[in-house]
Amino acid sequence: MGLTKTEIFTDKQNQLATFLKAMAHPARIAILQRILISNTCICGDLVGELGLAQATISQHLKELKNAGIIQGTIEGVSVCYCINPKTWKLLETQLGAFLAEYKGETACC
Amino acid sequence: MGLTKTEIFTDKQNQLATFLKAMAHPARIAILQRILISNTCICGDLVGELGLAQATISQHLKELKNAGIIQGTIEGVSVCYCINPKTWKLLETQLGAFLAEYKGETACC
DNA sequence: GAGGTATATCGTAATATTACAATATAAAAC
DNA sequence: GTTTTATATTGTAATATTACGATATACCTC
């Protein structure tokens, strides 16, 4: 075992889970916030700012990139990472729809 | 290693990561949707509806409960699980604030 | 209280994640 | 072309997650 049974869930459920999983780490939230605030990002800055090793940050960036949340373009010696606007909007839509399913407090519990 | 370095991040970053992690599984999204739609929930229903073993579903419910997202009250033989309104609002606020940090497309990448 | 029903917990196997040192790659500067 | 600088990849150890069978618990019904 140890393998998520994706086949029994809908594509939407699986996709939302993938997005959430990609963001479900404080380092990746910190990285995203850093990109969001400065509206641009160079990986080297993060190595100094977060207290994690360069290899670890590179790994986190890779996961955000795999999920499609960020994109990177080579800029001379360094790489410029920024938000993928298309994915971010999709994420906002899907997450918004999910959260909106809550209809207020129930009488039950 | 293999242990997240929570101490180098802010409480807000860690809390948001914890919420996201709790929801970052298609089974748990399906469970939440089921609770949200019916405005109530009994675990036994889920065992029939999702294609997972009873022990697995109980485990997923436990994780959602540990994160404070759902709460359960014993109701005779079964347990009634429902959304924790306070946590759900906190989650909406924190996630909303996070998503709102995006200021639209950048010129950079 | 014996039997049935609903949920939780335990034990365990397979797999995934997190973190980092070491090393590789690739472009700029000299 | 060698050195410097920035990032990626590889290898590896520690830990976490996912799933399920088996078993325990707890409450209702008779």
Question: Per-residue DSSP letters for chain A?
Answer: --S--GGGS-HHHHHHHHHHHHH-SHHHHHHHHHHHHHTS-BHHHHHHHSSS-HHHHHHHHHHHHHTTSEEEEEETTEEEEEE-HHHHHHHHHHHHHHHTT--S--S--
What is the pLDDT at residue B103?
84
Taking only Cα atoms into account, the Rg of chain A, rounded to an integer number of angstroms, comes to: 17
Alpha-carbon distance A16 to B24, whole Å?
A: 8
| Contact at CB, A106 and B40, closer than 8 angstroms | yes
Q: What is the mean pLDDT of residues A16-45?
A: 92
Q: Which residue has the higher pLDDT, A16 or A38?
A: A16
Q: What is the pLDDT of residue B45?
A: 86
With CA atoms as reference, the chain B residue closest to A15 would be: B26
CB pairs under 8 A between A and B: 134
Report the gap between the CA of B45 and the closest CA in chain A (Å). Answer: 16
DSSP class of B82 = E
- Given a cut of 70, whether residue A109 has pLDDT beyond it is no
Q: Which residue is nearest to nucleotide C15 (CA to C1')?
A: A2
Task: Decide if A1 touches B, using CB distance below 8 A.
Answer: no
B59 nearest nucleotide via C1' and CA = C8
On strand C, nucleotides with any atom < 7 Å from a protein CB are 4-22, 26-28
Q: Give me A92's structure tokens.
A: 């906002």
Looking at the C1' of nucleotide D12, which residue has the nearest alpha carbon? B1
SS3 B75: strand
* SS3 label, residue B89: helix
Residue nearest to nucleotide D10 (CA to C1'): A55
Per-residue pLDDT of chain B (109 residues; tens, 9 = 90+): 668 889 999 999 999 999 999 999 999 999 999 999 887 778 788 998 999 999 999 999 999 999 999 998 888 888 989 999 999 999 999 999 999 999 877 656 6
Residue A65 is predicted with a pLDDT of 96
Chain centroid to Cα B94, Å, comes to 13
Q: B78 by DSSP, 3-state: which?
A: strand
Distance CA B14, CA A28 (A): 10
The gap between B77 CA and C3 C1' (Å) is: 15
pLDDT at residue A108, as a whole number = 66
The CA distance from B44 to the nearest CA of chain A, in Å, is 16
Residue in B13, B33, B73 closest to A109 by CB:
B73
Query: What is the separation of C-alpha B83 from the centre of its chain, rounded to a whole number of angstroms?
Result: 9
Q: How many CB atoms lie within 10 A of CB B99?
A: 15
Stronger pLDDT, A45 or B63, i.e. the higher one: B63
Note the pLDDT of residue A37. 87
Between the CA of residue B12 and those of A15, A45, A77, B6, B72, what are the distances in Å? 25, 21, 33, 11, 26
Protein-proximal nucleotides of chain D (any atom < 7 Å from a CB): 5-11, 13-22, 26-28
Residue B54: its pLDDT value, please? 95
- Count of Cβ atoms closer than 10 Å to residue A90 Cβ: 16
DSSP state letters, A66-93: HTTSEEEEEETTEEEEEE-HHHHHHHHH
CB contact under 8 A, A99 and B92: yes
